[in-house]
Copies of this chain bind each other. A is one copy, B any other.
Amino acid sequence: MKSRITVGMIGLGTVGCGVAKVLLGNASLIAKRVGVPIELVRIADLDITTDRGLSFPDGTLTTDAQSVLEDADIDIVVELIGGYDPAKRFILKALENGQSVVTANKALLAVHGEEIFHAATSAGVDLGFEASVGGGIPIIKALTEGLVANAVTSMFGIMNGTSNYILTKMTEDGKGFEEVLQRARDEGYAEADPTFDVEGVDAAHKLAILVNLAFGTTVNIKDIHTEGISRLSTIDLEFAREFGYTIKLLSIAKYLDHEIEARVHPTLVPSTSPMAQVGGVYNAIHVVGDAVGDVVLYGQGAGSLATASAVVSDIVDIARSRLKNIAGRVPVASYQWTHRAPIRLRPIEEISSMYYLRFMVVDEPGVLSQIASTLGEKNISISSVLQKGRQQGQTVPLVIMTHRSSERSVQAAIQAITRMPFVSESPMLLRIEGAES
Contact = CB atoms under 8 A, between A and B. Distances in A.
Given A292-B300, A329-B324, A138 B149 contact: no
A253 to B, nearest CB: 17
Interface in A136-163: 136-138, 141-142, 145-151
Nearest to A284: B296
Nearest to A272: B277
Interface string A293-317: 1111111100101101111110111
Nearest to A29: B151
A277 B291 CA distance: 23
Complex copy number for this chain: 2
Q: State which size class the interface on A falls in.
A: 35 or more
Contacts of A22: 149, 291
A233 B330 CA distance: 50
Nearest to A287: B299
B309 A149 contact: yes
A334 B299 contact: no
A280 to B, nearest CB: 11
A30 interface: yes
Contacts of A309: 147, 149-150, 289, 291-292
A148 B22 CA distance: 11
A26 interface: yes
A329 B320 CA distance: 6
Nearest to A32: B339
A377 interface: no
Interface string A18-35: 100110011001111111
Given A138-B147, A274-B274, A317-B145, A308 B291 contact: yes
Interface in A115-155: 130, 136-138, 141-142, 145-151
Contacts of A306: 291-293
Given A141-B145, A151-B26, A216-B32, A312 B326 contact: no
A172 to B, nearest CB: 13
Given A136-B293, A290-B26, A142 B149 contact: no
Given A137-B295, A299-B294, A329 B321 contact: yes
Contact of A130 (B146, B305, B329): B146
A370 interface: no
B300 A293 contact: yes
A412 to B, nearest CB: 38
B298 A295 contact: yes
A336 interface: yes
Contact of A33 (B25, B294, B315, B336): B336
A335 B146 CA distance: 20
A29 B321 CA distance: 24
Nearest to A38: B149
A329 B319 CA distance: 10
A98 interface: no
B329 A147 contact: no
A176 interface: no
A142 B138 contact: yes
A295 B299 contact: yes
A291 B297 CA distance: 17
A331 interface: yes
Contacts of A321: 329
Contacts of A297: 295-298
Contacts of A290: 25-26, 305
B295 A312 contact: no
Contacts of A26: 149-151, 290-291
Interface of A: 18, 21-22, 25-26, 29-35, 130, 136-138, 141-142, 145-151, 216, 274, 277, 289-300, 303, 305-306, 308-313, 315-317, 320-321, 323-324, 326, 329-331, 334-336, 339
Given A149-B313, A324-B324, A329-B329, 8 more contacts: A21-B291, A35-B331, A138-B295, A141-B146, A291-B312, A292-B299, A292-B300, A294-B300
7 contacts: A32-B335, A141-B141, A145-B313, A148-B316, A291-B312, A292-B299, A324-B326
